[in-house]
């Protein structure tokens, strides 16, 4: 098994608690599904949110879907002018047998524009 980092992001329509939780849960679920992972495979997850999101911690969504014993952390993205607004990002560190070239990074909703080169 190797340790791999998996990236992902999702854009929300508005900074509303339920939208942040629902979109983050969708992102986490899709990362897990596309990479055939269980929570036992996850070492840690770093969540970031653009400065215009402050209605809820994105990590709460992961806790609600079963990441009860996985170390999670939230931070704010750098406030870069003209950056895509209302984006939650994640970087998950996982143990997997997948080679780096087969890791599936997940960009959902408007966040696909962030990484057209790797968004599936």
Catalytic residue among 7, 22, 30, 109: 7
Catalytic residue among 26, 34, 77, 109: 77
Active site residue 74: yes
Catalytic residue among 4, 56, 86, 89: 89
H, E, C per residue of the chain? CEEEEEEEEEECCCCCHHHHHHHHHHHHHHHHHHCCCCHHHEEEEEEEECCCCCCCCCHHHHHHCCCCCCCEEEEECCCCCCCCCCEEEEEEEEEECCCHHHCCCEEEHHHHHHHCCCCC
Active site residue 115: yes
Active site residue 63: yes
Catalytic residue among 22, 33, 74, 109: 74
Active site residue 107: yes
Catalytic residue among 33, 63, 95, 102: 63
Question: Active-site residues: which are they?
Answer: 7, 63, 74, 77, 89, 107, 115
């Amino acid at each position: 098994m190797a340790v791999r980092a998996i990236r992902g992001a999702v854009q929300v329509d508005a900074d509303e608690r339920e939208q942040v939780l629902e979109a983050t849960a969708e992102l986490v679920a899709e990362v897990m599904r596309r990479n055939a992972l269980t929570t036992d495979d996850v070492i840690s997850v770093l969540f970031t949110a653009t400065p215009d999101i402050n209605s809820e911690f994105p990590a709460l969504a992961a806790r609600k879907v079963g990441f009860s014993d996985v170390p999670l952390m939230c931070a704010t993205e750098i406030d870069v002018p003209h950056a895509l607004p209302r984006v939650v990002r994640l970087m998950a560190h996982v143990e997997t047998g997948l080679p780096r070239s087969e890791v599936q990074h997940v960009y959902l909703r408007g966040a696909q524009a962030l990484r057209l080169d790797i968004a599936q």
